[in-house]
């Protein structure tokens, strides 16, 4: 909290602790008192705080402390920096739709008519700073404070904000909130957020915790529920019109002395309850003492048998060490045999390694030759098929080219004839015009001029028309090149996209392999398979499945020996990852449970699906139908019968053939019948996959269907994760370079295509200009011809010749365009033919070379097989010897493990017996030392268990006798104990029962004694502490009375008066004694009603200010404090209040009154807010309130 230092004359110069100004500390002490008293009542065993302080320490503790010592506050003489209200904002609150009030740091008046919403500002401050709705005296709950009209307008609730200044040393978490803290309280009508928000100076939310709000209010010393700090209308009425008893109650409540006094009374009641409980326990203990005495006597009868039991335990200890000696000898013997066998085994391993090294070299050569032959065979078959395909394609491609060339030749002939007709028409027109010139003579100069202009225009028209084909050709060429570049650009983009996908696939593969290599082998089958697998294992341990749940399927599949090349093909045939990540259940209930696991693991529709199968014997599937062809069932190794049967049922692994190439699969399995339909040899095979691409063919109703596989084969089954990971990482640099090259090529093609588009647009632009000029010339020629016709006197008509020229030109232009189109089509077809021809020649050359290489490889493989048999026989013999010694080593290791386990068990038992004996000896010594009060315990196995560290410290002991000797000794001891029990009429377990009853009764009695002692100690400590606290409480009360008296007198002295507060603590009343003239004792009066209105108002307000001075809150609010004053008294009271408030510049005052304030002048330290009168014709809350600032 915020604190200050001030000397106290009323306390005789001493400094005491005030509960009003040190509220937090007093409340904490009091809470400890209440908790302690309640805990003592509920738990008798809890002790009170240490009450053994010396008299001097107690006197120092009781010495009064100054309640103001060490406090820091807004220093007097300057404006406050922390805790004062800067702004109040309400929305849909009480009678306001929206209202903002900006307050100054010192004096603020809010006035207006009744119903204008003055008190709504006070209510907003109260509920925003921690008070409840009832504390406002305006509503029973927060929802009743929402503006009534808002419910009709479908408004969700109200919002209230109070902005506090947060500067200076006393600021609350200034680094977080800045110079201001805004507390926002939301009131929702329809289930929205109801609570607090703490906003920083940028209106950014920092907290919603009520705990943070309380911490802020405590540090800034804001007490909105204290009637002195916030005086609402109800409290003001009680204070101004109340009796002396009301004023005294107001004083006690404002200083919290009343609450502390109530807590002390509650503690005294708890002390009385403790005394009653002590008396009850004392009465009930007599029977417990007699019960303990009887049970102790019964137990002592069993003590004699304990000695016999101890002798029996000693015999068992010796037997255990004898057994340990025998087991240890067995372990040493087996270890010696293992060492000798290991030496022989190492020698055999070296022999096998040498033979395998030679064989592996040969195997590598064999694999190399086979691989080479297989590759060459596949390459030859592929080249042959490609050759046939290319020859057919070449014929098909050349056919349209020949037709186009014949059509072009015919078109050229037609074009030549059209050109001849054009030239003839032009000669005829020229001759006709010359005839006109000769007929007209020189006299017709106008006709000659028109003719000359006409000739020039026609010549220019012919020149422009001559340009047009070339321009169209250029435009067509540019357009064609632009369109031709579309396919390469698309291909380049596809290449870039493929490179990106390839790089992403390799990176994804690296991540999966890394997860699998790191211990999560399930990661190879999908991202969520590992999580599903872990949840299945957990459910199986909890027995939530009724039957077996197996999966993922890929985890149970391996590649059969020697069938590695078919692994990716088999994986494709069974459905790839969509099958390998599946799980298998055997009943509907387990399937429903598994589907919930998939849902909780976040699996998509394609991930971790499930097969439901019936449990039965392993299916007997047929072998591959022909040699050289495998089935999926023969290429894969599946040891789990349920997984194997599921693959047969759902994936038909016994009906899918796998072939080294497409040709072998067709030649071995496919046959064509006489009716032209196809069938599969062997009957059971339904489809066949072939290497290297995974292409598929199948027969459906006699029709062969071929399906090409466009995706790259992927292998997950039988993959060496380390090698695959290294290989994948090695592919990354090349793929990155390939991607970079593809992007560069794509950019080059895009730039070239863009250039062609620019040329095409330029050619089109030029063509449009030429066509426009041609249109202008044609129009000019028509005009000239019209002029010539007017001037023409001859009867010769050239219109027919001109139409012939025009028709001939159009025909020639049409032939030219058709020719260009045919040439372009031929040009487009020729590259395709050239490509096919080049590919065909390349395939022919490659096929010839492959055949020669294949013949050479066959010769080398035949020579290799002649020398293979001898090396294999030697290797098998050495392996057989190695397996024999390995089997012997495994048997010895198994025997050693069993012997070591037996030795460990025997050693543990022997050490426990030794530890038991040690404990018995220690307890016997302790009992002998303690005498009657010694421990009466049973054998150590009843009391406690040794730790592993304690057992490890016990060294093995070498037993001098054999096991048989100690076993005979144990039998004799058991018979002797049995005879003693029969003599004493005891049965097994009586001793333990008697001991437990005795110890339970004794512990119960001791617990009661401890409880009585604890209660008595608590009563003494609590009684002493409550007396001390009551004494200090009375000192606090006197200190506050003195301080309030001093401040009250200081306030009256400012007007030349003096006064005193007369407290009667016995009757609970507070009276005011006022001397109107501090120099005239005769003016003194104890009857406040004898004072004038102004004097009485000033006296009452002085008392309020004196009480408020002790609180040291940063702001104080008074609502309708002057409601019962006459105008003259009110004027004097306001003047006095303003002067007093301004003299306390370090505090903020907010006065709310319905009276007129027009005679008060505003200044920078005094601000008046006038509320707009309510509109009586509307419902409450209708108009929007606004702030009237008179500071200008």
Query: pLDDT tens, 93-119?
Result: 888 889 999 999 889 999 888 888 888
pLDDT at 646: 92
Closest CA to 545 of 605, 644, 604, 612: 612
Is the model's pLDDT at 1191 over the cut of 60? no
Residue 1083: DSSP 8-state: G
The predicted pLDDT at position 838 comes to 73
pLDDT band at 521 (very low <50, low <70, confident <90, very high): low
Q: Give the pLDDT band (50/70/90) at residue 468.
A: confident
Q: Please report the pLDDT score of residue 445 as a whole number.
A: 64
Q: What span, in angstroms and rounded, lies between the C-alpha atoms of 223 and 84?
A: 12
- pLDDT at residue 69 above 50? no
Per-residue pLDDT at 774 exceeds 50: yes
CB-CB neighbours of 314 under 10 Å:
18
Q: How confident is the model at residue 85 (pLDDT cuts 50, 70, 90)?
A: very high
The share of the chain scoring above pLDDT 90, in percent, equals: 7
Average pLDDT estimate for 834-856: 70
Q: Which residue has the higher pLDDT, 664 or 592?
A: 592
| 115-119, 220-224, 1016-1020, 1051-1055: segment of lowest average pLDDT | 1051-1055
Q: How many CB atoms lie within 10 A of CB 852?
A: 10
Are 1127 and 1159 spatial neighbours (Cβ–Cβ below 8 Å)? no
Structure tokens given for 1035: 């000192």
Which tokens sit at 1077?
């003239």
Average pLDDT over residues 803-808: 76
* Lowest-pLDDT choice from 43-52, 444-453, 585-594, 691-700: 43-52
Q: What pLDDT does 89 receive?
A: 94
Given this model, what pLDDT does residue 1188 score? Answer: 37
What's the sign of the alpha-carbon dihedral 579, 583, 585, 590?
negative
CA nearest to 112, candidates 1094, 1183, 1143, 1142: 1183
CA distance 433 to 451: 8
In 3D space, the residue among 1094, 454, 498, 1063 whose CA is nearest the CA of residue 745 turns out to be: 498
Q: How far apart are CA 467 and CA 770, in angstroms?
A: 8
pLDDT at 45 over 60: no
Q: What is the pLDDT of residue 931?
A: 47
Flag whether pLDDT at 566 surpasses 80.
Answer: yes
Which of 786-790, 811-815, 1156-1160, 1181-1185 is predicted most confidently?
A: 1156-1160
Q: Is the pLDDT of residue 865 over 80?
A: no
- pLDDT, residue 923, reads 76
What pLDDT is stored for residue 868 in this prediction?
A: 59
Question: What is the mean predicted confidence (pLDDT) over 779-802?
Answer: 66
**What's the pLDDT score for residue 549?**
92
Q: What is the maximal distance between C-alpha atoms in the chain?
A: 179
pLDDT (mean) for 261-290: 83
Ramachandran region, residue 931 (left: φ > 0; alpha: ψ -120 to 50; beta: rest): left
Question: Residue 585 pLDDT > 90, yes or no?
Answer: yes
CA distance 1137 to 237: 18
Of residues 1011 and 1087, more confidence is placed in 1011
Q: How far apart are alpha carbons 652 and 772 in whole angstroms?
A: 75
Mean pLDDT of 570-580: 85
Task: Please check the confidence at residue 404 and state whether its pLDDT lies above 90.
Answer: no
The more confidently predicted of residues 100 and 452 is: 100
Q: How far is CA 222 from CA 89, 133, 213, 214, 528, in A?
A: 19, 18, 11, 9, 56
643 band by pLDDT with thresholds 50, 70 and 90: very high
By percentage, how much of the chain surpasses pLDDT 70? 79
Q: Is the pLDDT of residue 9 over 70?
A: no
Q: Report the range out of 30-34, 42-46, 1067-1071 with the highest average pLDDT.
A: 1067-1071
| pLDDT at residue 1189 greater than cutoff 60 | no
- Higher pLDDT among residues 854 and 751, named by residue: 751
Class of residue 1169 by CB neighbours under 10 A (exposed 0-12, middle 13-18, buried 19+): buried
pLDDT in tens, 874-897: 677 777 888 888 888 888 888 888
Q: What are phi and psi of 779, to 5 degrees?
A: -65, -40
Going from the C-alpha of 952 to that of each of 783, 904, 948, the distances in angstroms are: 128, 12, 6
pLDDT confidence tier of residue 1141, bands split at 50, 70 and 90: confident
Q: Residue 165: which pLDDT band, with cuts at 50, 70 and 90? A: very high
Residue 584's contacts (CB-CB under 8 Å, 6 or more residues apart) are 548, 549, 550, 551, 553, 610, 611, 612, 613, 642, 643, 646
DSSP symbols for 648-666:
HHHH-TTSEEEESSHHHHH
Looking at residue 236, its pLDDT comes to 66
pLDDT the model gives residue 20: 34
User: Which of the pair, 349 or 125, is modelled with greater confidence?
Assistant: 125
Cβ-defined contacts of 675-682 (< 8 Å, 24+): 675/702, 677/702, 677/703, 678/702, 678/703, 678/704, 681/625, 681/626, 682/625, 682/626
Does position 620 have pLDDT exceeding 50, yes or no? yes
- Is 90 exceeded by the pLDDT of residue 182? yes
Residue 321 has pLDDT above 50, yes or no: yes
**Sign of the CA dihedral 972, 977, 982, 987?**
negative
Q: What is the pLDDT of residue 16?
A: 36
Contacts of 576 (CB under 8 A, 6+ apart): 714
pLDDT over threshold 80, residue 537: yes
**What does the pLDDT read at residue 587?**
92
Asked if 73 and 4 touch (Cβ cutoff 8 Å), the reply is: yes
Q: What is the pLDDT of residue 164?
A: 93
Closest to 583 measured CA to CA, from 562, 601, 563: 601
**In terms of C-beta density within 10 A (0-12 exposed, 13-18 middle, 19 or more buried), how is residue 13 classed?**
exposed
Helical (H) or strand (E) element with 1031 = helix 990-1053
Q: What is the pLDDT of residues 343-387, one digit of tens each?
A: 888 887 887 787 777 666 556 666 676 677 777 777 767 777 777
The mean predicted confidence, pLDDT, of the chain is 76
* pLDDT(988) > 60: no
């Amino acid at each position: 909290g915020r604190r200050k230092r001030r000397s106290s004359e009323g306390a005789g110069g001493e400094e005491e602790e005030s509960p009003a100004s040190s509220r937090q500390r007093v409340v904490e002490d009091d809470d400890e008192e209440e908790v302690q008293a309640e805990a003592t009542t509920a738990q008798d065993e809890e002790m009170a705080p240490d009450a053994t302080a010396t008299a001097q320490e107690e006197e120092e503790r009781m010495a009064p402390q100054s309640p103001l010592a060490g406090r820091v506050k807004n220093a007097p003489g300057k404006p406050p920096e922390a805790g004062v209200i800067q702004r109040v904002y309400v929305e849909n609150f009480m009678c306001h739709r929206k209202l903002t009030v900006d307050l100054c740091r010192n004096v603020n008046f809010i006035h207006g008519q009744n119903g204008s919403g003055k008190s709504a500002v006070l209510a907003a401050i109260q509920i925003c700073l921690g008070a409840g709705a009832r504390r406002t005296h305006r509503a029973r709950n927060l929802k009743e404070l929402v503006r009534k009209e808002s419910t009709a307008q479908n408004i969700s609730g109200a919002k209230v904000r109070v902005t506090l200044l947060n500067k200076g040393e006393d600021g609350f978490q200034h680094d977080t909130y800045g110079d201001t803290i805004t507390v926002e309280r939301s009131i929702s009508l329809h289930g929205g957020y109801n609570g607090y928000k703490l906003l920083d100076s940028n209106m950014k939310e920092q907290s919603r915790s009520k705990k943070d709000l309380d911490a802020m209010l405590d540090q800034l010393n804001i007490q909105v529920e204290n009637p002195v700090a916030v005086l609402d209308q109800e409290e003001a009425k009680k204070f101004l019109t109340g009796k002396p008893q009301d004023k005294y109650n107001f004083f006690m409540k404002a200083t919290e002395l009343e609450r502390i006094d109530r807590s002390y009374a509650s503690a005294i009641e708890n002390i009385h309850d403790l005394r009653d409980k002590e008396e009850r326990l004392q009465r009930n203990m007599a029977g417990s003492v007699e019960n303990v005495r009887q049970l102790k006597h019964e137990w002592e009868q069993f003590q004699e048998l304990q000695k016999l039991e101890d002798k029996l335990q000693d015999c068992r200890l010796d037997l255990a060490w004898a057994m340990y000696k025998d087991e240890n000898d067995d372990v040493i013997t087996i270890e010696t045999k293992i060492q000798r066998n290991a030496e022989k085994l190492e020698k055999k391993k070296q022999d096998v390694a040498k033979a395998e090294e030679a064989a592996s070299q040969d195997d590598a050569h064999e694999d190399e030759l086979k691989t080479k032959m297989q590759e060459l065979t596949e390459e030859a078959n592929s080249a042959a098929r490609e050759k046939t395909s290319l020859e057919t394609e070449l014929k098909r491609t050349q056919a349209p080219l020949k037709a186009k060339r014949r059509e072009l030749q015919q078109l050229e002939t037609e074009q030549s004839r059209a050109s001849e007709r054009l030239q003839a028409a032009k000669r005829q027109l020229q001759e006709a015009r010359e005839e006109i010139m000769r007929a007209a003579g020189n006299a017709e100069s106008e006709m000659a001029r028109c003719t000359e202009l006409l000739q020039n225009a026609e010549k220019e028209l012919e020149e422009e028309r001559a340009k047009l084909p070339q321009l169209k050709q250029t435009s067509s060429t540019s357009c064609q090149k632009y369109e031709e570049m579309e396919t390469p650009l698309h291909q380049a983009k596809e290449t870039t996209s493929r490179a990106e996908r390839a790089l992403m696939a390799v990176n994804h593969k690296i991540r999966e392999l890394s997860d699998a290599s790191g211990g999560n082998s399930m990661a190879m089958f999908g991202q969520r398979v590992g999580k599903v697998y872990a949840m299945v294992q957990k459910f199986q341990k909890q027995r939530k499945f009724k039957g077996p749940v197996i999966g993922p399927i890929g985890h149970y599949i391996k590649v059969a020996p020697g069938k590695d090349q078919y692994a990716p093909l088999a994986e494709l045939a069974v459905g790839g990852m969509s099958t390998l990540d599946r799980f298998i259940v055997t009943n509907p209930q387990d399937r429903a449970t598994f589907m919930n696991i998939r849902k909780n693991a976040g699996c998509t529709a394609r991930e971790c699906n499930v097969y439901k199968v019936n449990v039965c014997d392993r299916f007997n599937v047929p072998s591959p139908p022909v040699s050289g062809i495998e089935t999926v069932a023969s290429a894969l190794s599946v040891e789990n019968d349920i997984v194997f049967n599921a693959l047969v049922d759902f994936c038909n692994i016994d009906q899918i053939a796998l072939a080294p190439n497409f040709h072998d699969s067709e030649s071995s399995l496919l046959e064509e019948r006489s009716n032209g339909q196809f069938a599969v040899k062997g009957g059971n095979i339904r489809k066949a996959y072939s290497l290297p691409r995974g292409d598929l063919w199948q027969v459906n109703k006699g029709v062969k269907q071929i399906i090409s596989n466009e995706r790259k084969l992927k292998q997950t089954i039988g993959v060496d994760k380390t090698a695959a990971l290294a290989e994948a990482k090695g592919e990354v640099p090349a793929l990155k370079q390939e991607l970079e090259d593809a992007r560069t090529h794509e950019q080059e093609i895009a730039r070239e295509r863009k250039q062609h588009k620019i040329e095409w647009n330029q050619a089109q632009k030029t063509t449009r200009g030429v066509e426009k000029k041609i249109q202008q010339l044609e129009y000019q020629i028509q005009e000239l011809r019209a002029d010539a016709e007017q001037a023409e006197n001859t009867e010769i008509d050239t219109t027919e010749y001109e139409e012939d020229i025009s028709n001939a030109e159009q025909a020639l232009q049409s032939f030219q365009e058709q020719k260009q189109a045919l040439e372009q089509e031929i040009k487009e077809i020729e590259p395709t033919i050239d490509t096919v021809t080049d590919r065909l020649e390349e395939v022919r050359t490659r096929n010839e070379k492959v055949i020669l290489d294949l013949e050479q490889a066959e010769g080398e493989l035949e020579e290799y097989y002649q020398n293979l048999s001898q090396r294999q026989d030697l290797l098998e013999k050495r392996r057989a010897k190695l397996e024999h010694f390995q089997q012997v080593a495994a048997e010895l290791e198994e025997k050693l493990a069993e012997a070591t386990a037996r030795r460990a068990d025997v050693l543990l038992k022997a050490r426990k017996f030794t530890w038991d004996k040690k404990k018995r000896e220690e307890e016997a010594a302790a009992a002998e030392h303690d005498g009657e009060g010694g421990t009466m315990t049973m054998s150590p196995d009843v009391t406690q268990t040794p730790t592993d560290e304690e057992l490890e410290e016990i060294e093995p002991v070498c037993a001098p006798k054999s096991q048989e000797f100690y076993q005979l000794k144990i039998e004799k001891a058991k018979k002797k104990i049995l005879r003693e029990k029969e003599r004493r009429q005891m049965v097994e377990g009586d001793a333990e029962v008697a001991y437990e009853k005795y110890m339970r009764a004794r512990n119960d009695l001791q617990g009661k004694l401890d409880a009585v002692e604890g209660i008595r100690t608590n009563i003494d400590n609590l009684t002493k502490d409550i007396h001390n606290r009551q004494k200090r409480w009375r000192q606090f009360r006197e200190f506050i009375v003195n301080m309030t008296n001093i401040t009250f007198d200081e306030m009256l002295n400012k007007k030349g008066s003096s006064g005193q507060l007369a407290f009667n603590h016995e009757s609970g009343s507070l009276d005011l004694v006022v001397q109107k003239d501090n120099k005239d004792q005769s003016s003194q009066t104890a009857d406040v009603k004898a004072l004038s209105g102004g004097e009485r108002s000033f006296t009452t307000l002085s008392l309020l200010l004196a009480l408020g001075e002790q609180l040291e809150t940063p702001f104080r609010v008074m609502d309708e404090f002057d409601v019962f004053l006459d105008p003259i008294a009110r004027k004097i009271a306001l003047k006095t209040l303003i002067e007093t408030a301004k003299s306390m510049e370090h505090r903020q005052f907010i006065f709310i009154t319905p009276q007129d304030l027009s005679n008060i002048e505003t200044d920078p330290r005094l601000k008046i807010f006038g509320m707009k009168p309510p509109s009586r014709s509307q419902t409450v809350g209708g108009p929007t309130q606004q702030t009237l600032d008179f500071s200008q």
